[in-house]
Amino acid sequence: MSVALSAQEILEKNHGSSDITVLGIPTRGAHLAARIAAIMSSIEGKEIAHGTLDITLYRDDLRLRPPRTIMPTSIPPIGIQGRDVILIDDVLYSGRTIRAALDALGEVGRPRTVQLAVLVDRGHRQLPIRADFVGKNLPTSEKQSVRVSLTEIDSVDEVVIEGEAN
């Protein structure tokens, strides 16, 4: 499955795990981050620093919709200073979540690199942002929505494209 492949790819690109901190963006990115960190741990035979990063307070579209519930942020004790941070999210779309995440990271510390891994890239970027690791590229129309379900909270692992293409 693509999560395992991505974990492998991330390790290869970073020449091992020693400086990696994996941070998932709640809700589903956090569960994906936990999975990826677990797979990396089993490959490397040691614990991988991982946590969650909520970006709600850094969004630029807060005024356009009802306020969102703030989700937990937990930065692993080793922190992000000077480390290779792997941001994990479920779907990459406009890129605005990732922009907010970069701002949020800046408040926590200064990583050596920030890399982005997503399960699905559905296109339609509104900002100059791209993913370093993509589980699956899904061409979609802007009228459609992409729903990711994970067993941890949705009792099934699936990605569903909803709505008609144009």
Binding site for another protein (CB under 8 A): 27, 54, 57-58, 62-73, 103, 107
Say how far apart CA 7 and CA 29 lie, in whole Å.
14
Find tokens 């890239």 and name the residue. 121
Q: What's the closest the beta carbon of residue 62 comes to another protein, in angstroms? A: 5
Q: Which is nearer to another protein, 15 or 65 (CB)?
A: 65
Q: What's the closest the beta carbon of residue 131 comes to another protein, in angstroms? A: 21
Q: What's the closest the beta carbon of residue 129 comes to another protein, in angstroms? A: 18
Alpha-carbon dihedral 61, 62, 63, 68, rounded to 10 degrees: 140
Q: Which is nearer to another protein, 84 or 89 (CB)?
A: 89
Picking from 112, 151, 10, 96, the residue whose alpha carbon sits closest to that of residue 104 is: 96
Q: Which is nearer to another protein, 16 or 60 (CB)?
A: 60
Q: Which is nearer to another protein, 67 or 128 (CB)?
A: 67
Say how far apart CA 163 and CA 60 lie, in whole Å.
26
